[in-house]
Chains A and B, each alone.
Chain A
Amino acid sequence: MRPFTVLTAVAAPLLRDNIDTDAIIPSREMTSVSKTGLADGLFAGWRYLGSATGGRDPDPGFVLNQAAYAGTQILLAGTNFGCGSSREHAAWALAEYGIRAIVAPSFNPIFYGNCIRNGIVPAVLAADRIARLASAVAPDPQRLRITIDLSAQAIVGPDGGTDAFPIAEEAREMLLGGLDAIDLTLKRSDDIARFIARDRTVRNWVYPTA
């Protein structure tokens, strides 16, 4: 996974609340047993005209289709972003499209974890601060960029104004190092085996006997 340190990029506003995983990638866009080839289906219902019937003409009203927001890598979103299905395709599609950070007042917990495991920074920030960032970039999004500094846990607006955002230590380290969680945990195999051996003496009924 690509490590995330500091990113300065175009940020696009999608300031609706409760943007669910069906909206991020409709189920009908997930047609292969694969983690890739999903960027084209990102926000398909909003991005394309007549997408329900396979339409692929960009809807000029959708923010990511506008030239001013070309190359967007940061999304500014509403509360409870990523609610709905646990489909990791939502995170895969966002990452493949090029989104590297999402700033929202809150995230669905499963989606939040999926972001961390796919190199996307989920930054929690109060709604009024997010609205202010969105207006700050609006006059010229290509020039008025936002910086996300993960080590400092800071979001810097185009005017230099800085907000701190919280992120758990473990999640931060994984994103900073681009680490694979399975490798990290497999280093603890002996501890896990010891724990299970002890657990079997307390909860032997948990373990199938076949």
Chain B
Amino acid sequence: MLNDPARSTTLFEKLWDAHQVMPIAGGGLILIDRVLLHERTGGIALQTLAEAGRTVAAPDQVFATMDHVVDTLPGRADVTMMPTGTDFIRATRVQALAAGITLFDIGDPGQGIVHVISPEQAIVLPGVTLVCPDSHTCTQGAIGALAWGIGSTEAEHALATRTLRVLKPKTMRITVSGRLGRGVTAKDLALHILASYGASGGKGCIVEYAGQAVEALDVEARITLCNMATEFSAFSAIIAPDEKIFAYLKGRLYAPKGAAWHAAIAYWRTLRSDPDAAFDIELAVDAGSVAPSISWGTSPQDAIAIDGIVPADAAARPLDYMGVAAGAKVLGLPIDAAFIGSCTNARLSDLRRAAAILDGRHVAPGVRAICVPGSTAVKHAAEAEGLDQIFLAAGFEWRESGCSMCFFAGGESFGARERVVTSTNRNFESRQGPGTRSHLASPETVAASAIAGRIADPRTPER
């Protein structure tokens, strides 16, 4: 259990031991404290479970939202631009009701992208295990939880048994020393790590982010950093929870209250790797060497400094797909669209930083610019401080919350060969629509590029 004085352990091992019902070959039967679902995969999991005559064992620990399929245009309803999207929405609604789980439906103030609403409502807490049939569940490790993405069949297992049979991942620590420079964000750090160690650099590991630069990040920036651990092929990511996390969670909807809060805090303060704990792999990153970054190719590892050059030895296929040249800059390339959204970078602090660049400026002619807040709560908070007016005055569309054009499901897209600077996390071929060219970057870089009409450095935005 926790705090075995005889053994120095990592944060991950503490959480693993606290949740291991029994060992199994290569891993353990692990207690699952929270299951999150969305309409893209959750409806199928609940439906298959019901068809097999099984029930959800702990419905009060299961939460579902509508984010992936639902439209984000104002006035949206069950009908979607994605063909058959309505079927996903209705199946999830019917199954959630039958299973007795909490659903944040269209129109509910709690609706939003699953990984945004979970910290926001304190569904995820330090020290819990949380799973979701979605690869970006690693996002929530930023709160100090053991949170990871699973498939639908595993989701059925977690729902039916409150446990999962898990193969024990290797441990990796990435220590980020120093401090990030001016205009350099957690997104840039995530891209820098991917570029340095490759898209399979974290393969199968639980990655603990640590070090001075990570401690200095605010809660929402930590969430951004952990978000892209799946792009790194990691099992998941985690950051030891600290006072910033406790202050962030206090008073939120599902946070423990009263005596339970004090008991929780006392427990959470034990959640850190012992000073001499051994990791299977240790990596070190100097925060001072991180620049505002952007991807040039079709893997998230294809990232360079905003004013850097595409590698001279880059493969032909991504160069051709993206319409970029080896040995040349992407800085200054004309763009067709700008997108601020997704579980990576659409929280209130992201929108504030983008708005600071957009304030008093206007998107370049011919550029389609869209902002999709990460949750309905983010949207409302942004509107309360007038950010929507800044986005709208700058020529951005201001949308309802959802995954939107982070991924293409057959409905809305940017179009073939359109060049998009995007605050999302994946730049695979056709991720944002057939033939669409996606450049991953921070919300600041998206905003600065939207104004310039070409890929721009966020540290020197134009008029």
Contacts and interface: CB of A to CB of B under 8 A. Distances in A.
Interface of A: 18, 20, 22-23, 26-28, 30-35, 45, 52-53, 79-80, 83-88, 91, 106, 108-110, 113-114, 117-118, 168-171, 173, 181-182, 184-186, 188-189, 191-192, 195-196, 199, 202-210
Contact of A117 (B91, B153, B163, B263): B153
A31 B134 CA distance: 17
B351 interface: no
B299 interface: yes
B428 A22 contact: yes
Contacts of A18: 199-200, 299
A206 B128 contact: yes
A23 B429 contact: yes
B29 interface: yes
B160 A110 contact: no
Nearest to B167: A168
B40 to A, nearest CB: 8
A151 B233 CA distance: 28
A-B CB proximity, top 7 nearest = A52-B434, A169-B25, A168-B26, A28-B410, A88-B151, A86-B135, A205-B264
B204 interface: yes
Given A33-B47, A110-B151, A88 B25 contact: no
Contacts of B165: 170, 181, 184-185
Contacts of A170: 24-27, 165, 167
Interface stretch (B81-89, B217-225, B237-245): B81-89
Interface stretch (B254-262, B281-289, B355-363, B390-398): B254-262
B118 interface: no
B162 interface: yes
Contact of B199 (A23, A83, A181, A202): A83
Contact of B150 (A27, A85, A113, A206): A113
12 contacts: A32-B84, A52-B435, A83-B200, A87-B41, A88-B133, A106-B233, A110-B230, A113-B154, A168-B167, A182-B161, A202-B267, A205-B263
A208 B233 contact: no
B426 A84 contact: yes
A209 B255 CA distance: 11
Nearest to B254: A208
B339 interface: no
Nearest to B43: A33
A105 to B, nearest CB: 9
A193 to B, nearest CB: 9
- Name the residue among A30, A181, A205 with the largest chain B CB count within 10 angstroms: A205
Nearest to A79: B200
B44 A118 contact: no
B21 A188 contact: yes
Interface residues of B, number: 77
B199 A85 contact: no
Contact of A192 (B24, B162, B233): B162
Nearest to B231: A83
A52 B162 contact: no
Given A84-B428, A117-B151, A203-B18, A182 B156 contact: yes
Contacts of A114: 151, 153-154
B87 A33 contact: yes
B33 A206 contact: yes
Contacts of A196: 31, 162
Contact of A106 (B54, B203, B260, B264): B203
Contacts of A88: 41, 133, 151-153
Nearest to A21: B135
Nearest to A33: B91
B44 to A, nearest CB: 6
Contact of B31 (A35, A189, A192): A192
Contacts of B83: 28, 31
Contact of B26 (A84, A85, A169, A209): A169
Nearest to B48: A35
B404 interface: no
Interface in B391-422: 407-410, 416
Contacts of A185: 29, 157, 160-161, 163, 165
